[in-house]
Amino acid sequence: MKRHLLYAGLLWIILTAIGEYAAFNAKFFTAGAAAEAVIVDDAFRLLMLLGTPVFTFVLAGLVYSVLAFRARSESIEDGPPIRSSRTVTWLWLVITSGLAIFIFFNPGVKGLNELNANPNADLVVQVQARKWAWKLTYPEYNVTIEDASELVLPVNRRVKFEITSADVIHAFWVPAFRMKIDAMPGQTNVLYITPNQLSASSQNDFNLRVQCAELCGTGHARMRAQVRVVEQSEFEAWLAGQ
């Protein structure tokens, strides 16, 4: 019995070590391009680090049991009549409850607080979604772009997006910013994003795109616009050209 626990425990430790090494080092997402992306990426990695030992615990227990306890004879033989164990069940309850409550606070509540921390913005962009295009308005500059093929933003400026819809529900999503919110008819939703990486002009990062993420009919998949993050001066020059 002790021997089985030892071997299964060893298997768990080895699997966990491999898993944690991967969780620490893996690049889970394509490159982030906004300050908010860091919060999401960190939250993701933390959950991976916490989830790995849970996954490997069940996996090790299961794989070891199949290897060590499989019946070797054709005749049917019963195992030991263990109905339960007070220690094991209560330990399980305490540990799983502790983990569930821990991840509620961190990264859950902590990440939400970080995302909601700053209600100030340097720039307002109004987004109106409709089947199947984006209308972008920069109200401080009196610039409106119908059927936008690109969303141009200045780097390192906190942008307040005011998002609504003219018909059905859409969703405003920029994968590289890790931010998403639904565009609802009759309601204006707000999203704060601080782009912090200039877009390379030579290549289009496919995740630096506005993508509709809520099913909205035939044109849903292609309801996208390229995002271009530029220096403030270039941004102002671009505005002036509109």
Site residues for other proteins, window 111-140 (CB under 8 A)?
Answer: 111-112, 114-116
Amino acid found at 112: L
For residues 5-34, which are near other proteins according to CB under 8 A?
28-30
For residues 148-177, which are near other proteins according to CB under 8 A?
163, 167-169, 171, 173, 175-176
Cα 82 to the center of its chain, rounded Å: 43
Tokens 């499989």, residue? 70
| Of positions 33, 125, 136, 216, contacts other proteins by CB under 8 A | 216
Span near other proteins by CB under 8 A; candidates 96-104, 118-126, 153-161, 228-236: 96-104
Span near other proteins by CB under 8 A; candidates 85-93, 147-155, 192-200, 226-234: 85-93
**Nearest partner of 155 among 206, 212, 202, 200, judged by Cα:** 200
The pairing of strands 224-230 and 150-154 is parallel
Cβ atoms of 153 and 230 within 8 Å: the answer is: yes
- Quickly count: other Cβ atoms within 10 Å of residue 80's Cβ: 5
- Binding of other proteins by 97 (CB under 8 A): yes
Distance of closest approach, residue 137 Cβ to other proteins, in angstroms: 18
Distance of closest approach, residue 225 Cβ to other proteins, in angstroms: 13
Cβ atoms of 23 and 48 within 8 Å: the answer is: yes
Span near other proteins by CB under 8 A; candidates 10-18, 104-112, 194-202, 232-240: 104-112
Span near other proteins by CB under 8 A; candidates 51-59, 122-130, 140-148, 149-157: 51-59
Tokens of 121: 């913005």
Distance of closest approach, residue 157 Cβ to other proteins, in angstroms: 21
| Closest to other proteins by CB, 13 or 91 | 91
Tokens 């610039």, residue? 143
Rounded to an integer, what distance in angstroms lies between the CA atom of residue 96 and that of residue 199? 43
Distance of closest approach, residue 44 Cβ to other proteins, in angstroms: 5
| Closest to other proteins by CB, 19 or 235 | 19
Cβ atoms of 151 and 226 within 8 Å: the answer is: yes
Rounded to an integer, what distance in angstroms lies between the CA atom of residue 66 and that of residue 59? 11
Q: Which residues pair with 171 in a beta bridge?
A: 182
Span near other proteins by CB under 8 A; candidates 53-61, 118-126, 135-143, 233-241: 53-61
Tokens 């005011």, residue? 162
| Closest to other proteins by CB, 21 or 102 | 102
Distance of closest approach, residue 61 Cβ to other proteins, in angstroms: 5
List phi, psi (to 5°) of 174: -120, 105
| Of positions 13, 24, 49, 65, contacts other proteins by CB under 8 A | 65
